[in-house]
Amino acid sequence: MTALTADRVGVTLLERRVVDDVSLTVPAGTWVTLVGPNGAGKSTLLRAVSGAVEHAGTIAFDGVEVARLRSRERARLVAVVPQDPARPDGMTVLDYVLLGRTPYVPYLGTESAEDLAVAGELLDTLELRSLSGRLVTELSGGEFQRAVLARALAQQAPVLLLDEPTSSLDLGHAQQVLELVDELRASRGLTVVSALHDLTTAGQFADHLVLLVGGRVVAQGSAQEVLTEELIREHYGARVRVVTDPQGGVVVVPLRSRPARGQEGVA
């Protein structure tokens, strides 16, 4: 298992400070979710953690700075499910998933039997086996999202970064994917960092939440500590009711400014 630490991390893009003085710790084997309104810096912070953008401050895995790692070393350590992944022309689902094995394939080499076995297991787990020969450009949004997750999991990296992993999935598949990630976290000791816009989903699955606003951390802690009606009203401009789930986590219910038609006077 691998722990992640970020110390006073900042990212500037096009002369604008997108992430500003962020510090956080993600213990090995835990799930931390970044929440916040649009433009809060969630995706940019994940990109900094993955080594995809330059940053000020320090980001380290078990004390090893990500900036000092070569690309293949990073790929064996951290896997990423981006928000808007590209769909390569002419590539089948199987070949796309096998891209996740690239850090283990020798230069000028080909995939081994183990690489094919790992990919095959994930195709089965994510219900993609029947689509393995189909081109990724022919998949629906939900099918492609599952293929992207399979590619990331094929890296067998101890740290998994998820940027809005359920954005293209219906309710059933979204729940299935997040449950699978949670199961893999428990069985393989994954350390998971995600960015989610759905606050109820974040409150159900994460061990720890970090609320970003304008690139800065304004609150962090358990779902009960971060997803309060006051904080959501202040930083999202939304009226909500927060309900504690008896099985853990919280449920965030949006409230209308006025009763729905036909509900006036209903107690």
At which residue do the structure tokens 């992993």 appear? 165
Question: Residue 78 and residue 55: Cα distance in Å, rounded?
Answer: 17
Backbone phi, psi, residue 53, to 5°: -135, 150
Dihedral of CA atoms 243, 247, 248, 254 in degrees, nearest 10, equals -30
**Which tokens is 241 given?**
């009711």
What is the token pair recorded at 36?
């916040």
Q: Which helix (H) or strand (E) holds 221?
A: strand 216-221
DSSP 112-126: -HHHHHHHHHHHHHT
CATH tag, 4-254: 3.40.50.300
Residue with tokens 């689509």: 131
Other C-beta atoms closer than 10 Å to the C-beta of 95 total 17
- Going from N- to C-terminal start, the domains of the chain cover 4-254
Q: pLDDT digit string (tens) for 172-229? A: 888 888 888 898 889 888 999 999 999 999 999 999 999 999 999 999 999 999 999 9
- What pTM was computed for the model? 0.90
Each residue's pLDDT tens digit, 44-80: 999 999 999 999 999 999 988 988 889 899 999 999 9
